[in-house]
Amino acid sequence: MSDDVKGDAPAVRAAYSMLCKYWESNGQVPRVGEKLESWLRQTGSFSEVNAHEVIIPIGNRWCAAEALDPVQQQEVQVVEPKSKALGLTFTDTARRGFSADRGMLTIGSTPELQSQCLEQFNTVEWRMDTPLHFVWARKSA
């Protein structure tokens, strides 16, 4: 997860930024996926480590292609259907998390920011391309 929100959605960007900072303050690594392969190799415990990255498009931009200009519509069509479906699931999960009564407040948000974030979630003016990492490793004998 990152807070690299593109588009005109400052409250969505702020919410993702708060979430990443909250995780970091609890010792979590929001971008852990990109480090897994290296970490597994460094242990010396694996004879083989393989990693595969898939970009998952998060944001309502992918939900309403008809509202986009022709160039943007082509970008939407390039996204693999399974990645698009997973992105829509991630978008919906984030929307529910950010709308939870206490969810946003526990990470330092205000009711005003929460309201703005949910309003901006319903626009087509933002997106976040999130890398999803699949890592497979074979333990050394």
For the chain, domain boundaries: 6-132
Computed over every residue of the chain, the mean pLDDT equals 82
In DSSP terms, which residues pair with 135 in a beta bridge? 51
DSSP label of 123: S
Q: What is the pLDDT of residue 61?
A: 63
Residues 34-78 pLDDT 10s: 899 999 999 999 999 999 998 888 887 654 444 455 655 555 556
Give the Cα separation of 118 and 108 in Å (integer). Answer: 16
